[in-house]
């Protein structure tokens, strides 16, 4: 990736900011575009060039592409809360799908043909098989998952019509924080399980809410495949290198292939923080599948991806290192 100029829309967000650090470490020149609606300027590595703006603003993107001569794009800019998407689906279609349409139009107008896209396991909906394969049906059960699938389909049609080259990476529960402790997960409101759990020992909430315990799983709570954010970041770099080397457009799952229930994650967090974490059972959230566990054999075989931070307790330890030192995220 040395000397390549990579644009990272959404690079001030959680996964995007970790990818920016990985890109800079690889020798790339990094340009971040983010409107800071959900991201944080403090999360952006100072070695990256930063532009504040909305990817739905074509004039903003045209100006950026004119100035920066981009080689490739790693696209993280999207709303990403399942529950919120069910309440505000039109907002999600506008921001996620329309934003991607404007981004792709600007890319193609400026001769930029390579894009790595941050997709989601939510494109599968309620899976028919565990572990999930890339060839399995995509039947989203949330507006969020539906918008991400629409973004993937847009890229596929653009590949055929305009010669766009894309890789779509479908993630399974990003978690953890950069080993330095300098950046980590900070959403407002927070919706991801591990930071919500850690807000209890951090003094920000009295207990953790468990959304349903009547799922067809080993303890009745949802099963998810948790993957360290830096393993995800490194997968994005491998995908970009794959496209630069002439690789064909494709979709890859990213996950550890091992699922943990919500109750098991709470127990692992209790061991890390060495304190009890009270839990309260509440009704299910709409759109939550019972199980999401990935087969990432394709990413390992084709991209050479080798996740190295797979131990749940180690993942939670990096998250706790961030949260205990930044209880209010980037706010203080």
For residues 68 and 13, the answer to whether their CB atoms sit within 8 Å is no
For residues 17 and 38, the answer to whether their CB atoms sit within 8 Å is no
Q: Could you check whether the bond before residue 309 is cis, i.e. omega within 30 degrees of 0?
A: no
Q: Rounded to an integer, what is the distance from CA 254 to the centroid of its chain?
A: 10
Q: Give CA–CA dist 37/187, Å, rounded.
A: 11
Q: Give CA–CA dist 187/190, Å, rounded.
A: 5
Task: Name which of 125, 56, 136 is nearest 92 in CA terms.
Answer: 56
Q: Rounded to an integer, what is the distance from CA 54 to the centroid of its chain?
A: 19
Residue listed under structure tokens 């009547």: 214
Active-site annotation holder among 51, 144, 226, 242: 144
Number of H helices, E strands in the chain: 11, 14
Task: Name which of 217, 53, 43 is nearest 126 in CA terms.
Answer: 217
Kindly give, in sequence order, each residue whose CB lies less than 8 Å from that of residue 45, ignoring residues fewer than 6 positions away.
Answer: 17, 20, 21, 24, 30
Q: Is 144 a catalytic residue?
A: yes
Catalytic residue IDs: 144
């Amino acid at each position: 990736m040395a000397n390549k100029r990579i644009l990272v829309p959404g690079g001030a967000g959680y996964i995007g900011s970790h990818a920016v650090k990985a890109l800079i470490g690889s020798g790339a020149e990094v340009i971040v575009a983010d409107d800071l609606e959900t991201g944080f300027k403090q999360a952006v590595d100072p070695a990256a060039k930063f532009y504040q703006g909305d990817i739905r603003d074509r004039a903003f993107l045209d100006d950026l592409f004119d100035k920066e001569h981009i080689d490739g794009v790693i696209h993280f800019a999207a709303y990403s809360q399942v529950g919120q998407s069910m309440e505000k689906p039109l907002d999600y279609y506008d921001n996620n799908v329309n934003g991607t349409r404007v981004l792709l139009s600007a890319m193609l107008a400026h001769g930029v043909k390579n894009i790595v896209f941050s997709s989601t396991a939510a494109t599968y909906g309620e899976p028919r098989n565990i572990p999930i394969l890339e060839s399995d049906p995509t039947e989203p059960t949330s507006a969020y998952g539906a918008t991400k699938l629409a973004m993937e389909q847009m890229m596929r049609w653009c590949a055929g019509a305009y010669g766009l080259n894309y890789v779509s990476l479908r993630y399974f529960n990003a978690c953890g924080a950069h080993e330095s402790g300098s950046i980590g997960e900070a959403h407002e409101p927070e919706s991801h399980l591990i930071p919500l759990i850690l807000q209890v020992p951090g003094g920000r909430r009295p207990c953790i809410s468990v959304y349903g315990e009547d799922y067809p799983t080993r303890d009745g709570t949802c099963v998810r495949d948790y993957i360290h954010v830096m393993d995800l970041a490194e997968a994005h770099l491998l995908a970009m290198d794959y496209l630069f080397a002439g690789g064909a457009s494709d979709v890859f799952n990213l996950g550890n292939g091992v699922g943990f229930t919500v109750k098991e994650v709470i127990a692992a967090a209790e061991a890390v923080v060495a304190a009890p974490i009270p839990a309260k059972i509440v009704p299910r959230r709409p759109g939550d599948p019972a199980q999401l566990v990935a087969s990432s054999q394709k990413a390992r075989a084709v991209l050479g991806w080798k996740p190295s931070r797979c131990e749940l307790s180690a993942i939670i330890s990096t998250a706790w290192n961030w949260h205990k030192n930044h209880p209010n995220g980037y706010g203080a």
